[in-house]
A and B are shown apart, each in its own frame.
Chain A
């Protein structure tokens, strides 16, 4: 027999002027299971709360309904008051008599009657409430950062500087990412490597950071605070403890014609190589695909010349396990392949290049040592055309979204070209100029006004070669769609930013969602921009969408702050309003039949398989189990479960059932 206390708040005039609160309390007093009912002017005030606490003690109440404002307002207040009186806070429910009743209806019997029925519904619900205790989940205070571009570097450093261990995993032989390939950065034109490489070195030297390059995530299991990552360390074919990074092997390697990824194909590298001179770690790896030894079993020059005998041809991939409490995904982006612009002749004409290739041409560490020379014959181009929006904002052939960074880097490219090739002529074909950002618009204006870059608003229809020149045919829409034809020496395509290869696969490994373009999805685009729907996994940088460096760094620091906040608690405390799969005595153990359809319904991958074993360890039954660390309490699984083996604490089947019935039962 329950002993429920009902407390009707007048909220001054807010409820009291419309609802006959005394009558509601009187009606409540005669409801089944109600031991005490009263009304009061301001229930949330100190005396009001004291009234509730005293009643709990005096009448030994085992449940409380407060008829007051919305539970979204004062539920925590009243639950806390109950707890102070020794009643489990989850045995308190709020009847919304203000927002859902007095404020929306006129004074009258109907309104009072409605208030009574609302209270009745919650009395019947609270009679079936169970005492609940918050869930504590331990946290492994070590973070895994996947991707060693500027986002990963920033996140790793920020977390490490908070005093937490970090594992940074990079799939390439060196960290640095796309930023290390850039020449100067907009809008300040400071040298990208100059600002990046100190950070790279800091990562390598940080006592809290363990760096795994040439490594990839194999799998991730577990949940927030308690992940287990399997990391594949790809065979570098060297013993890193012996290698001093002297570089002798790379100079002696006879296989010298491999296109350099770092130089976007404009330079060459050897089979044993360090991607670029400032690489971290600055130790080579052997590219098995191109190495003569791996292909034919011959050669082995590097092995012969290595002064420390660090070459290990027999080395195999290794998989290591790491326990981590949080994951930050910073796998960056890629640029769109240009093969679907046959009309621009990329690949056919050596001097039609991508923006990333131009970065390498303009970079002091690039294949031309920073001089703008076109790839075909090494001549300095006198006329360069830059084409913005190559693939971006092009639902028909490319991608519908704006790649965001192209307007700015194209302005930068044109500007760099004008700075480096005095007397050169540059043209930018554009759709719109999107230069929202600190000093961005000024930067574009400078390109146009000070560096005399010719901006042509219009699309390029076609590029073809004629007598050693690239004929660029387009229109100028600002001049009434006048055809424009430019005889260029070089054309630079601002190809769209797209998600990185393998991002879909990675998302599936991490159980995080992604958008139709395979960029990782944030939990909320505005309010939870660096969280994912999987608790404990965060995202930052261009793996979410194309981003410029400041935004990338900002999100990386944001994600790091989220990780640090998580790690700052002794353990994770969660509301106990989670789903639970029933357990019962043998031989049933649970009414769950283990169809695991709930697993596909759960947005949080919170449902696990539990093997129920007999004493000899033989599996009798496999049933579902909700991980309270992951469950967010939506209850989708509960409504889906055919055998009603899952229930949601705080909104249980019995509670909801009783509330619905009671709301329809005439009380008079």
Chain B
């Protein structure tokens, strides 16, 4: 993995968030005019329970360097248990990704409530810093671009 020119490297990060807590929390960050890094693009889901693990992989395949997954704190889920289901899914998913050698440090899980505008800003900044440190996820991008590069001249 190349860590060269990290100063010029702007991580591309996709945030998968639930509508009721984290999306609203990020709204509050805005309303509070708390500034944070521009690297994150937010995708709104009704609930963390809705977030398919394949969408996370799709983000990496499409060139994301990092991912944020965030929803309601335990017991605060708008749908009572979507976040609990999601939490289990992520536990299992993380363990599988780790077995495969996929860099689980690049997926940041968090609970951010609708009241935690500042936490959202911190989460984004912290994740951007982590990913900047790790560098672009070239390993994965290279594999994603296999047909374009590697196999073309076979």
The answer on A and B forming one complex is: yes
A contact residues vs B (CB 8 Å cutoff): 70-72, 96, 98-101, 103-106, 110-111, 113-114, 117-118, 121, 513, 523, 533, 577, 601, 603-604, 632-636, 638-640, 648, 651, 653, 656-657, 659-661, 663-665
Q: Which residue of B lies closest to A650 (CB)?
A: B46
Q: Is the CB of B27 within 8 A of A70?
A: yes
Sample of 9 further A-B pairs with CB below 8 A, known A634-B82, A639-B85, A660-B43: A72-B27, A99-B30, A121-B43, A632-B79, A635-B49, A636-B82, A638-B50, A639-B89, A663-B14
Could you say which residues of chain A place their CB within 8 Å of the CB of B19? 72
| B38 touching A653, Cβ below 8 Å | no
Q: A664 to B55, alpha carbons, bound, how many Å? A: 12
Residue B140 lies at the interface, judged by CB distance under 8 Å to chain A: no
Known interface pairs A104-B35, A657-B55, A661-B62; A636-B79 also in contact (CB < 8 Å):
yes
Q: Which residues of B contact A665 (CB under 8 A)?
A: 62
In angstroms, Cα B72 to Cα A636, docked, is: 14
Q: Chain B: interface secondary structure?
A: mixed
- A72-B27, A104-B36, A106-B35 in contact; A664/B59 too (CB < 8 A)? yes
Task: Return chain B residues, CB-CB under 8 Å to A604.
Answer: 79
Q: What is the distance, in angstroms, from B69's C-beta to the closest C-beta of chain A?
A: 12
User: Which one of B23, B35, B46, B82 lies within 8 Å of A603 (CB-CB)?
Assistant: B82
Q: Is B41 an interface residue (CB 8 A)?
A: yes
| CB neighbors of A among B23-62 (8 A) | 23-24, 26-31, 33-36, 38, 41-47, 49-53, 55, 58-59, 62
Contact of B24 among A72, A114, A634 (CB under 8 A): A72
Distance to closest chain A CB from B64 (angstroms):
6
* Least distance between B84 CB and chain A CB atoms (Å): 9
The answer to whether A103 touches B31 (Cβ under 8 A) is: yes
Could you write out 20 A-B pairs with CB less than 8 Å apart? A72-B19, A72-B23, A72-B24, A98-B30, A103-B33, A104-B34, A533-B80, A601-B49, A604-B79, A634-B46, A634-B50, A636-B81, A636-B82, A638-B52, A639-B53, A640-B85, A651-B45, A657-B58, A663-B41, A664-B41
CB distance from B68 to the nearest CB of A (A): 13
A639–B46 CB distance below 8 A:
no
- How far in angstroms is the closest Cβ of chain B from A511? 12
Complex Cα–Cα for A664 and B63 (A): 6
A651 touches B38 (CB 8 A): no
The answer, among A104, A118, A633, A648, for a CB contact under 8 Å with B30, is A104
Asked if B121 CB lies within 8 Å of chain A CBs, one says yes
Q: Is B132 an interface residue (CB 8 A)?
A: no
Main secondary structure of the interface of A (DSSP, over half): helix
From B14, B46, B59, B63, residue with most partner A Cβ within 10 Å? B46
Size of the B side of the interface (Cβ < 8 Å), in residues, is 43
Given contacts A118-B41, A603-B80, A636-B85, contact A660 B55 (CB under 8 A): yes
Determine the chain B residues whose CB is within 8 A of the CB of A98 once the complex forms: 30
Docked CA distance A96–B59 (Å): 20
Q: Establish whether residues B43 and A656, one from each chain, have CB atoms under 8 Å apart when the complex forms.
A: yes
Beta-carbon nearest neighbor of B50 in chain A: A635
* Alpha-carbon distance A656/B85, docked complex (angstroms): 19
| A105: nearest chain-B partner, CB-CB | B38
Which A residues are CB-close (under 8 A) to B53?
639
In contact, A664 and B50 (Cβ under 8 angstroms): no
Give Cα A100 to B25, complex, Å: 10
Q: Does B12 contact A (CB under 8 A)?
A: yes
Q: Kindly identify which residue among B38, B46, B58, B86 contacts A660, using a CB–CB cutoff of 8 Å.
A: B58
**A603-B79, A638-B52, A639-B51 in contact; A104/B29 too (CB < 8 A)?**
yes
**What are the interface flags for B73-115 relative to A under an 8 Å C-beta threshold, 1 for contact and 0 otherwise?**
0000011111001100100000000000000000000000000
Question: What residue of chain A has the Cβ atom nearest to residue B34's Cβ?
Answer: A104
Is the beta-carbon distance between B38 and A114 smaller than 8 angstroms? yes
The CA of A218 and the CA of B62, in the complex, are separated in Å by 54
Q: Assess the B44–A71 pair: CB atoms within 8 A.
A: yes
- B31 and chain A: residue at smallest CB distance: A99
Is the CB–CB distance between B59 and A660 below 8 Å? yes
Q: Which residues of chain A come closer than 8 Å to B31, judged between CB atoms?
A: 99, 103
Q: Which residue of B26, B50, B62 has the most chain A CB atoms within 10 A of its CB atom?
A: B50
Known: A71-B44, A660-B58, A665-B62. A111 touches B85 (CB 8 A): no
Of all chain B residues, which has the CB nearest A638?
A: B50
Distance between Cα atoms of A310 and B39 in the complex (Å):
82
Q: Return B89 CB to nearest CB of chain A, in Å.
A: 7
Task: Report how far A638 CA is from B89 CA in the complex, Å.
Answer: 13
- Tell me whether B85 and A601 are in contact (CB under 8 A): yes
Q: How far is the CB of B54 from chain A (nearest CB, A)?
A: 8
Q: What is the distance, in angstroms, from A658's C-beta to the closest C-beta of chain B?
A: 10
Which of chain A's residues have a CB closer than 8 A to the CB of B58?
Answer: 657, 660-661
A99 to B24, CA, bound (A): 9
Q: Which residues of B sit under 8 angstroms from A601, Cβ to Cβ?
A: 49, 85
- Chain B min CB distance to A489 (Å): 48
Distance in angstroms from B142 CB to nearest chain A CB is 16
A577 touches B46 (CB 8 A): yes
CB distance from B145 to the nearest CB of A (A): 13
A114 to B36 alpha-carbon distance, docked (Å): 13
Q: Give chain B residues whose Cβ lies under 8 Å from the Cβ of A103.
A: 29-31, 33
Determine which of A651, A661, A664 lies in contact with B46 in the assembled complex, contact meaning CB atoms within 8 Å.
A651
